[in-house]
Amino acid sequence: MKIPVMEIFGPTIQGEGMVMGQKTMFVRTAGCDYSCSWCDSKFTWDGTGKSTAMQPEEIIQELKRSGQQFFSHVTISGGNPVLHKGIGELIRLCHVQGWKVAVETQGSFWQDWLLAVDDITLSPKPPSSGMKTDFNKLDAIMGKLDEANASLKIVIFDETDFTFAEQLHMRYPSVPFFLQVGNSDTATTDDAHLVSVLLRQYEWLIDLTACSSVMNDAKVLPQLHALVWGNKRGV
């Protein structure tokens, strides 16, 4: 079953969340059921990017061609990769190669192949995104997942987002919880300015977290790739 692929890149580091710093390849799929106001990957769903329909075997070949022997971990992101049934076969083939597989999704859809993923990052969207989380769906997904492989990662732009994150953490207290700095300027090429803004936002988020007893075991992280490469694509 074919998968619409936007880009395949790496090896780079996972710049976000539960396995930050892990060397990995990325497979970015096209299409999203959301349209977050601040999405840093709008080209996957707004018609400005070009995708290629690929069989799982072709994706494996392209990963080997571009990453050679320099990786053992593959991150599937998007868009929302959970829209695509064919990813189940891709995960199986990655495991045959001995590679671990991570998936990034917002938690709006279920596929049975999620049970085969080594690290799942669920990133429900806070109010600033303009999206509304369907908690019936999210509860059902959480109920089916092995919590050992899952984490929650919430992007924070303002105090309303932080309150949303507190409520989410209280709803799923045993799931590892990550707060992520929001990038409010995903178009700029002025890296020095972007980094200074992101570090200021990081400090603001640390200060908020420090004063929240709900967040006593949360982790507060920047997007490491944005600090190193700014808004550059394919890193």
Ligand X SMILES: Nc1nc2[nH]cc(C(=O)O)c2c(=O)[nH]1
Ligand Y SMILES: C[S@@+](CC[C@H](N)C(=O)[O-])C[C@H]1O[C@@H](n2cnc3c(N)ncnc32)[C@H](O)[C@@H]1O
Q: Can residue 230 be called a binding residue for ligand X (CB under 6 A)?
A: no
Chosen from ligand X, ligand Y, ligand SF4, none, partner binding at 35 (C-beta under 5 to 8 Å by type): ligand SF4
* Residue 60 is labelled as binding a ligand: no
Residues 85-114, interacting with ligand SF4 (CB under 6 A): 106
Residues 31-60, interacting with Mg ion (CB under 5 A): 40
Give the Cα-Cα-Cα angle 127, 131, 133 (nearest 5 degrees): 85
Task: Tell me if 167 sits within 8 A of 212, measured CB to CB.
Answer: no
The sign of the dihedral angle between the CA atoms of 197, 200, 201, 202 is positive
Residues 52-91, interacting with ligand X (CB under 6 A): 77
Q: Residues in contact with Mg ion, total (CB under 5 A)? A: 1
Among 4, 13, 20, 34, binds ligand SF4 (CB under 6 A): 34
Question: What distance in Å separates the CA atoms of residue 38 and residue 55, rounded to the nearest whole number?
Answer: 31
DSSP assignment string, 141-201: HHHHS-GGGEEEEEEESSHHHHHHHHHHHHHSTTS-EEEEE--S-SS---HHHHHHHHHHH
* Residue 47 is labelled as binding a ligand: no
**Which span sits near ligand SF4 by CB under 6 A: 59-67, 74-82, 170-178, 184-192?**
74-82
Q: Can residue 119 be called a binding residue for ligand X (CB under 6 A)?
A: no
* Residue 4 is labelled as binding a ligand: no
* Residue 28 is labelled as binding a ligand: yes
Chain centre to alpha carbon of residue 80:
9
* Residue 124 is labelled as binding a ligand: yes
Q: Can residue 41 be called a binding residue for ligand Y (CB under 6 A)?
A: yes
Question: What distance in Å separates the CA atoms of residue 169 and residue 214, rounded to the nearest whole number?
Answer: 8
Question: Hey, what are 14's tokens?
Answer: 């996972």
* Residue 14 is labelled as binding a ligand: yes
Question: Hey, what are 168's tokens?
Answer: 């989410």
Which residues sit in the known binding site for Mg(2+)?
41
Give the residues lining the site for ligand Y (CB under 6 A): 32, 38-41, 77-80, 104-106, 123, 153, 155, 180, 182-183, 186, 223
Give the residues lining the site for ligand SF4 (CB under 6 A): 32, 34-36, 39, 41, 44, 78-80, 106
